[in-house]
Amino acid sequence: MPTAACGINCDVCKLNLLGTCSSCGPGKSLQAEKKLAAQQRLLGDTCSILACANMNRIDYCMRDCNQFPCDNFSAGLYPYSRGFLNMQKRRLQERPPAYAPDGSRVNVAPTHWEDLRQKDINAVCNLTLFTPVTPGQAMFRFLNEDVIIDIENCCLKRKSGEQWVASQDPLLELVTVLYLINVDDIYPMGRDIVGVKDLKEAHFFQGPHALRTDPLLKRYGDDLEGFRQAAEFLAGKSRDMADAAYQLSPYPRVNLYFFLWQGDEEFSPQVSVLLDRPIERVLAADAIWALINRVTTALLEGARK
């Protein structure tokens, strides 16, 4: 494979074309082993980035390692400038943008917040296992973190130091508001677990609305351990199914089930996402799509530094 662990694409380098320099390859590859051996033999030392990626079984630092950009990059002279590394650091700390299937930015309509204000928040909390904080606020556990929905101020809040501060997370905000507006019962969990193709609105999940499983396959298709680490960081519960399977809880009474099968010479890797069928009594297909996407993004982010 042409791309080195650091992200440099050797395939588009003239030094590689001329045979002056061999490809480094991803950290887990045979190419990486060979390159490290060659560096040791010819230079008496190895590239600290390639050696670290190889030792830690990381294919691509920028995509797969939660330590990036680490000291191996910032202390070394190459391959990236300080400006590039600072940009990566800053943008990795930002929450990824939220897009609707048509590519537009997600926003929560003021009328949804108005509908939510009409609800009896204590009754809603009883049904959802959210915790009332004040008459206009309730706290819930999203995967591995506490989040407050502030109905008076129309936002989600996360803890920063000792303060609860407004947090831009439009997909989660939208689905949470819709969930609280619609919930009207305690729905059974874990009894009737199905795929989106088994839901009444199955036709929705096609074309631009297909679940975004490609990035999961790209990241974890041959990295079961990385998938397990990400799911366990998000407080996922392991299930004894597929090559790796986890139950993740975006809300206390809503579960999603992610199944991963590793690829081999014959079969490509596969990901399936299942859910409790009663979710369709609370969320329309577009909100289910948004919720699965939000949890998928959390899995792709992995452990935040």
To ligand SF4, the closest distance from the beta carbon of 92 in angstroms equals 11
Q: Which of residues 12-51 bind ligand SF4 (CB under 6 A)?
A: 24, 47, 49-50
To ligand SF4, the closest distance from the beta carbon of 93 in angstroms equals 16
By CB under 6 A, is residue 68 in contact with ligand SF4? yes
By CB under 6 A, is residue 58 in contact with ligand SF4? yes
Q: Which one of the spans 61-69, 90-98, 248-256, 292-300 is the region binding ligand SF4 (CB under 6 A)? A: 61-69
Q: Which one of the spans 66-74, 199-207, 237-245, 265-273 is the region binding ligand SF4 (CB under 6 A)? A: 66-74
Residue 279 CA to residue 162 CA, distance in Å, equals: 34
By CB under 6 A, is residue 79 in contact with ligand SF4? yes
Residue 43 burial class via C-beta count within 10 angstroms: exposed 0-12, middle 13-18, buried 19 and up? exposed
By CB under 6 A, is residue 67 in contact with ligand SF4? yes
Residue 78 CA to residue 153 CA, distance in Å, equals: 47
**Strand pairing report for 270-276 and 193-195:** antiparallel
Q: Give every CB contact of residue 28 below 8 A, 6+ residues apart in sequence.
A: 53, 54, 57, 58, 59
303 token code pair: 């452990």
Half-sphere exposure (CA, 13 Å, Cβ side) for 19? 0
Distance set, CA 60 to CA 3, 55, 118, 224, 273 (Å): 8, 12, 49, 15, 25
Q: Which one of the spans 54-62, 127-135, 172-180, 248-256 is the region binding ligand SF4 (CB under 6 A)? A: 54-62
Binder among 36, 53, 143, 174 for ligand SF4 (CB under 6 A): 53
To ligand SF4, the closest distance from the beta carbon of 46 in angstroms equals 8
190 token code pair: 């874990």
Could you list the residues that contact ligand SF4 (CB under 6 A)?
4-6, 8, 24, 47, 49-50, 52-53, 56, 58, 61, 65, 67-68, 70, 72, 78-79
